[in-house]
A and B are shown apart, each in its own frame.
Chain A
Amino acid sequence: MSHEYIPEIATDRDGNKHEVQGWQDDFYGGKLGFWLFMFTEVLMFGAMFMVLAYYNTLHPEAFIEASASLNRLLGGINTVILLVSALTMGLSLLKMRVGDVKGAKLMIWATILLAIAFLVIKGFEWRAEYNHGIFLMHGEMLPESGMAFGKKLFFGMYFTMTGIHGFHIIIGIGLMIWLLKRINAGKVTPAHHILHWNIALYWDIVHLIWVFVFPYYYMIGAGGVAGGH
């Protein structure tokens, strides 16, 4: 809204005045809406974790074996990258709030670069798995292959969840580029930065989901097959 929004006043029977909350300029409402939207992300991934946990109880050993074969180094680096990117995103929001628009933009760019680095590393991981004959509709994952059911299910969910998570990263990059455009156009300013706030929130949920994805896929087999969970 380019023009200043002036809230209406309602008067009760005793003559007291009450400010009316309009839909315009409702910072709190904008935040509330996006928090609610984040619930839906949590439920979507929650349902997938439930599927994963269900098959884990059916095939505990195959899950550990499959998990042991994942590349923990690359997965770990990716975790660190995402955590740092959450930090840069948070810093960009802090800078925006204190009025440092240029610093905020710089931090958003840093977040975008880290997000791209994450995707590149994820791509290398998937390629290595593909070369080992493990990929959807390919090699060991076909119904006729002899790989254990538990492993097929583990990798099926692995590609599904890391894929959907990666899709969220791509959307996040798009959102951040859009945010930069809005900042440049003067639509997102230190006084009016709800879009920035919500995109930062989105990025938080994306990294938070990874914080759960990483241990469940990479770490349950970290102790080796004979070792503990």
Chain B
Amino acid sequence: MSKSYFDETHTAIGHPKSTFMQWMLTVDHKRIGLMYAAVMFTFFFVAVATAFLMRLELFAPGAQFIDGDTFNQAFTLHGVIMIFLFIVPGVPAVLGNIVMPLMIGAKDVSFPRLNWFTFWLYILGCIVALASLFTDAGFADTGWTFYAPYSLTTSTNVIFTLVAAFILGMASILTGLNFLVTIHRLRAPGMTFFKMPLFVWGIYATAWIQLLATPVVGITLILAILEKYFGIGIFDPAKGGDPVLFEHLFWIYSHPAVYLMILPAFGIMSEIIPTFSRREIFGYRTIALSSASIAGIGYLVWGHHLYTSGMADTAKVIFSFLTFFVAIPTGIKFYDWVATMYKGKIILSTPMLWALGTIITFTIGGLTGVTIAMIGVDIHLQDTYYTVAHFHYAMLGGVVFLFFAGLHYWFPLVSGKMYNETHAKIAFYLQFVGFNLLWFPMFIAGYYGMPRRYFDYLPEFQIYHQVSFFGAVIFITGLIYMFVVFFKGWRNGKPSGTNPWNATTLEWHMPSSPPPLENHSKVPYVDFNPYEYHHGEPVVKFDYETMKRID
């Protein structure tokens, strides 16, 4: 029996003896993915705590615990961590790193040392981002969008956050580049693009966005820094500059970025649904190509963030029109998933529960997105809690829920052990109920005019904030519960075997669980589709020593 990647590794520099240094210098994609996960979820909890602090403050009108300035810094911290440190790198850096090379039968990513370097670039970005918490001027209070001209005049330490966002963007670009080359070059023989698992398609579409959109925000952040410290004038009305230009440049990246977050998550969904329906996925090609078309259309819709910022009416209409188009490929995916389940042998394991829950929450998040893509409605709802609820339904109820689904799904692959399913399901229900209780009242509050980012409000909004608060308590309880279940599973879980879910894709055809250092013992020849089931049983079987098909 070969040793697992926990015992052995390749390193970027030298041959360190200590386990600690072996982890720090590792170039193994699975170890790097795990380290990303550890760092990312630590920050995730910091951001959750910040959000809870804001909920606590908003429990009643007026100031209770923190003042308005601190509140501004709190929502900026929450946004910066959640966006730049957690959800943008999120699924690709953790699950993409761990699973994608296994899925295509590669030994590692194309540039393993670059992967290691990227991880440390990410860590550097995290440190710079949070360093300003400990300086006199304090953390930025601009919101994670750094809109000019306020970001150029605020006395808080916005430069740290700008530099950090640039470094993290760089890390994101390099991850995307690495994955693109990996997917183009290292697929196992016989695996054509349309034989790749759909998670790989999601990662592929994402990687293109990472590569082609992130540089724009990178240079925008640099221009903002140059504006703030060298007065180049382009965002400064005192020199003829146009602050709205910053918003344009910012959203040229940041709107594609939300598809960058959701596409790999959709990929997870496309893995889980066929596995737990024991049925070949319905409309493989449409799902694959809809990922690509979402990535493409996503570039052309940024203007819908600027309906109220001053833009020509013609431009507004065009942006609104284009924005509706995103709903089409997204809708195709959802119908395909539902059609896959039709007459399937559905098994309600925890990953499937998360996936099904996401179908509900993301549908709400997605459809409310369509409503605010309409110019008239948006002018009423811009910068209200309605918008906040919309993107939390889409991001938390879409991306993060599917991320959790993926964590449950691939947990046995990574650890070789199984968590307690009953407890994991309870954690799911707690979070699902808490989530809806937390965010749904905000749609109503926002519709009645509760503005976002305010730390005080009129008394008539109190009921919504209080319901939200109780939702937050339930949600966070479920969240902690889930991680306790993971932790216990990791410590004392039963060995899971190599393919606990009866899944078909290559990462479940490993010689051992957890996988050995260089993945598959032999690279298989792929002459089959990724989700072949017959009467609820996987069709393709391998001899795990030689990786030859034996079915």
* Cβ-defined partner of A39 (8 Å) among B211, B239, B527: B211
The reply to whether the CB of B405 lies closer than 8 angstroms to some CB of chain A is no
CB of A11 within 8 A of CB of B548, answer yes
- Most chain B CB within a 10 A radius of its CB, from A13, A43, A44, A46: A43
**Could you mark each residue 151-179 of chain A with 1 if its beta carbon is under 8 Å from any beta carbon of chain B, else 0?**
01100110110001000000000000000
Inside 8 A of A10's CB, which chain B residues have their CB? 188-190, 522-525, 547
Q: CB distance A23 to B249 under 8 Å? A: no
Instruction: Determine whether A12 belongs to the interface, using a CB cutoff of 8 Å to chain B.
Output: yes
Size of interface on B: residues with Cβ below 8 Å to A: 53
Name the B residues within 8 Å of A59 (CB-CB).
Answer: 240
Residues of A within 8 A of B242 (CB): 54
A54 to chain B, nearest CB (A): 7
B233–A152 CB distance below 8 A: yes
**A153 with B234: in contact, given A10-B522, A22-B107, A41-B215 (CB under 8 Å)?**
yes
Q: Complex: how many Å from CA A189 to CA B421?
A: 56
**A23:B219 contact, CB within 8 angstroms:** no
Return the contact of B232 from the options A8, A23, A156 (Cβ within 8 A).
Answer: A156
Residues of chain A with a CB closer than 8 A to B134's CB: none
B506 contacts the other chain (CB 8 A): no
The CA of A44 and the CA of B524, in the complex, are separated in Å by 41
Residue of chain B at shortest CB distance from A8:
B523
Query: A3-30: contact bitstring with B at CB < 8 Å (1 yes, 0 no)?
Result: 0000010111100001111110010110
Interface residues of B in 91-139 (CB under 8 A from A): 106-112, 114
The complex places the Cα of A157 from the Cα of B173 at a distance, in Å, of 25
A56 to chain B, nearest CB (A): 12
Complexed CA–CA distance, A26 and B114 (Å): 14
Residue of A nearest to B525 (CB): A12
Interface assignment of B212: CB less than 8 Å from any CB of chain A: yes
A149 in complex: contacting residue of B219, B222, B239, CB < 8 Å: B239
Q: Is the beta-carbon distance between A160 and B226 smaller than 8 angstroms?
A: yes
One of B145-153, B178-186, B467-475, B484-492 contacting the partner: B178-186
Residues in B neighbouring A73, C-beta threshold 8 A: none
Distance of A153 Cα from B232 Cα, bound (Å): 7
Complex: A136 Cα to B231 Cα, angstroms: 6
B317 at the interface (CB under 8 A from A): no
Q: Are B240 and A149 in contact (CB under 8 A)?
A: yes
- B245 part of interface (Cβ distance < 8 Å): yes
In the assembled complex, B216 has its CB within 8 A of some CB on chain A: yes
B62 interface residue (CB < 8 Å to A): no
Q: Are B218 and A44 in contact (CB under 8 A)?
A: yes
Q: Are B523 and A28 in contact (CB under 8 A)?
A: no
A contact residues around B219 at 8 Å (CB): 43-45, 47-48
- Chain B residues near A22: list those with CB within 8 A: 107, 186
B190 touches which one: A18, A39, A41 (CB < 8 A)?
A: A18
Interface pick from A95-103, A113-121, A137-145:
A137-145
Which B residue's beta carbon lies closest to that of A147? B239
Tell me the number of A-to-B contacts counted with CB atoms below 8 Å. 144
Q: How far is the CB of A185 from chain B (nearest CB, A)?
A: 16
**Distance in Å: Cβ of A112 to nearest Cβ of chain B:** 25
Q: How far is the CA of A39 from the CA of B208 in the complex (A)?
A: 11
Interface core residue of A37, A148, A160 (most chain B CB under 10 Å): A160
Q: Does A77 interact with chain B (Cβ within 8 Å)?
A: no
| Given A19-B189, A39-B211, A142-B231: A153 touches B239 (CB 8 Å cut-off) | yes
Is A109 an interface residue when CB atoms closer than 8 A count as contact?
no
Q: Closest CB of chain B to A225's CB: distance in Å? A: 19
B residues less than 8 Å from A149 (CB atoms)? 239-240
CA distance A28 to B188 in the complex (A): 16
CB distance from A196 to the nearest CB of B (A): 17
Cα of A12 to Cα of B528 in the assembled complex, Å: 11
Is B230 interfacial (CB-CB < 8 Å)? yes
A43 to B213, CA, bound (A): 8
Q: Which B194-238 residues have C-beta < 8 A from chain A? A: 211-212, 214-216, 218-220, 222-223, 226, 230-234, 236, 238
Contacts of A159 in B (CB 8 A): 230, 232
Considering the complex, which residues of chain B in the window 46-69 have a beta carbon less than 8 Å from any beta carbon of chain A?
Answer: none
Question: Given the known A-B contacts A47-B249, A160-B226, are A23 and B108 also in contact in the complex, defined by CB atoms under 8 Å?
Answer: yes
The answer to the question of B549 belonging to the interface, with a C-beta cut-off of 8 Å to chain A, is yes
Assess whether B190 is in contact with A12, with CB atoms less than 8 Å apart.
yes
Given contacts A44-B219, A149-B240, contact A23 B230 (CB under 8 A): no
Which residue of B184, B234, B547 is within 8 Å of A32 (Cβ)? B184
Report how far A6 CA is from B409 CA in the complex, Å: 35
Q: Are A160 and B232 in contact, CB atoms less than 8 angstroms apart? A: yes
A40 touches B239 (CB 8 A): no
- Does A33 make an interface contact (CB < 8 A)? yes
A46 and B212 alpha carbons, distance in the complex (Å): 11
Question: In whole angstroms, how far apart are the Cα atoms of A160 and B234 in the complex?
Answer: 10
**A residues in contact with B114, CB < 8 Å:** 33
Complexed CA–CA distance, A152 and B178 (Å): 40
A45 and B181 CA atoms in complex are apart in Å by: 23
Q: A20-B523, A156-B239 are in contact. Are A13 and B226 (CB under 8 A)?
A: no
| B107 CB contact (under 8 Å) in A23, A37, A137, A157 | A23
B241 at the interface (CB under 8 A from A): yes
Q: Does A150 contact B (CB under 8 A)?
A: yes
User: Cβ of A36 < 8 Å from any Cβ of B?
Assistant: yes
Q: Are A137 and B110 in contact (CB under 8 A)?
A: no
Contact flag A40-B241 (CB < 8 Å), given A20-B189, A20-B523, A157-B232: no
Q: Which residue of B lies closest to A37 (CB)?
A: B177
Query: Sorted from nearest, which 10 A-B pairs have the closest CB atoms?
Result: A149-B240, A18-B189, A156-B232, A43-B215, A12-B525, A156-B233, A143-B238, A40-B215, A29-B185, A44-B219
25 A-B pairs within 8 Å (CB atoms) are namely A8-B523, A10-B547, A18-B189, A22-B107, A23-B186, A26-B110, A32-B185, A37-B173, A40-B211, A40-B212, A40-B215, A43-B215, A47-B219, A47-B220, A47-B249, A136-B226, A137-B231, A143-B231, A143-B239, A150-B240, A156-B239, A156-B241, A157-B232, A159-B232, A160-B223
